[in-house]
């Protein structure tokens, strides 16, 4: 589940990275288009300003030239008028003087008017240059600087940087996907190995169980057979011992100068040797059984060694165990 969630996270991150990369590429393209449009607008504005400048300069020159031409023509006309008045009206000197003065005054006023018009045209050109052309030039310079270091350029740089970051993120995402894929493959391989190991362990356990069950049967049967043989041997020994003891009790002790106890002791010793010769299968059995297990405490047992000065019939030793005799 963790790997699935991580894969989904990588997938969603990859989709977001691809979308962000597409957005960054679109923003970069839009920024480039804006800058190109600004460049075209700037070139067009500079072209218009130059056209205006050339048109104003040519118009100024033309106006000044027209004023100069008209001023010259008026001067010539006044000079001719003065000459004609002086020639035609030579008899009346006062009238001629007045007419000449009038013409000179008109010429002076016309010259003054033409000069004022000329100065006004120059002032107009200067004002136009100061109030319109210079701001337009400043605007053009600002537009040029804006195209070099403005917000649009910064936006374009940010879009390019974003696109680069998105590309690097996509590359890192691809590496992360490869690592996640390798980790998933490693996990699957480890799970397969674990399953194979569990299967082998289960198979070995079943094999060991199947091997141990047949062996246990013969072992149990052999043990039961040995135990039954031992029980049979013990039963036979007990029967034989009881038979010997019964014969001893039924046997009547004869008269003897040594006493009846000695004969009883010899009979018991003979019976014991006879019992040991008859029992050949008693060597492999580690268990020991007392030869006097069936005797009662009141059964007399005589010692073979009779002290000097004592009667054979009077010597009665206490009952002892045959365990030392069996040794």
Is the distance from CB of 67 to CB of 114 less than 8 angstroms? Answer: yes
Q: How confident is the model at residue 208 (pLDDT cuts 50, 70, 90)?
A: confident
**105 against 299, higher pLDDT:** 105
Structure confidence at residue 219 (pLDDT): 46
Q: Tokens 């400048």 correspond to what residue?
A: 53
243-252 tens-digit pLDDT: 777 776 665 4
Q: How confident is the model at residue 227 (pLDDT cuts 50, 70, 90)?
A: low
Determine the length of the chain: 327
**72 against 228, higher pLDDT:** 72
CATH number of 2-184: 1.10.287.950
Distance CA 258, CA 307 (A): 11
Q: Tokens 């920024």 correspond to what residue?
A: 31
Q: What is the mean pLDDT of residues 68-85?
A: 82
94-122 tens-digit pLDDT: 777 787 888 888 888 888 888 888 888 88
For CATH 1.10.287.950, the residue range(s) in the chain are 2-184
Can you read off the two tokens belonging to residue 133?
């052309």
């Amino acid at each position: 589940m963790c790997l699935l969630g991580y894969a989904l996270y990588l997938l969603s991150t990859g989709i977001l990275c691809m979308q962000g990369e597409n957005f960054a590429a679109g923003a970069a393209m839009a920024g480039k288009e804006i800058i190109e449009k600004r460049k075209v607008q700037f070139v067009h504005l500079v072209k218009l300003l130059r056209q205006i400048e050339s048109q104003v300069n040519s118009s100024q020159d033309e106006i000044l030239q027209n004023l100069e031409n008209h001023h010259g023509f008026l001067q010539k006309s006044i000079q001719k008028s003065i000459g004609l008045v002086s020639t035609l009206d030579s008899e009346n000197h006062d009238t001629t003087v007045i007419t000449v003065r009038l013409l000179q005054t008109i010429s002076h006023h016309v010259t003054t008017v033409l000069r004022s018009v000329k100065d006004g045209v120059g002032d107009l050109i200067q004002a136009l240059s100061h109030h319109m052309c210079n701001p337009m030039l400043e605007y053009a310079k600002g537009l040029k600087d804006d195209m070099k270091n403005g917000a649009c350029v910064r936006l374009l740089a940010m879009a390019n940087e974003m696109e680069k970051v998105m590309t690097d993120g996509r590359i890192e995402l691809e590496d992360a996907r490869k690592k996640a894929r390798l980790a998933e493959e490693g996990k699957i391989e480890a799970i397969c190995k674990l399953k194979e190991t569990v299967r082998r362990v289960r198979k070995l356990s079943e094999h060991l169980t199947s091997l141990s069950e047949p062996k246990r049967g013969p072992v149990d049967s052999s043990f039961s057979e040995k135990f039954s043989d031992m029980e049979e041997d013990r039963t036979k020994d007990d029967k034989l011992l009881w038979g010997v003891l019964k014969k001893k009790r039924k046997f009547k002790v004869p008269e003897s100068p040594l006493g009846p106890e000695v004969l009883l002791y010899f009979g018991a010793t003979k019976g014991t040797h006879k019992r040991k010769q008859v029992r050949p299968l008693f060597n492999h059995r580690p268990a020991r059984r007392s030869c006097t297990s069936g005797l009662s405490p009141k059964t007399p047992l005589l010692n073979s060694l009779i002290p000097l000065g004592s009667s054979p019939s009077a010597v009665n030793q206490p009952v002892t165990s045959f365990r030392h005799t069996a040794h």
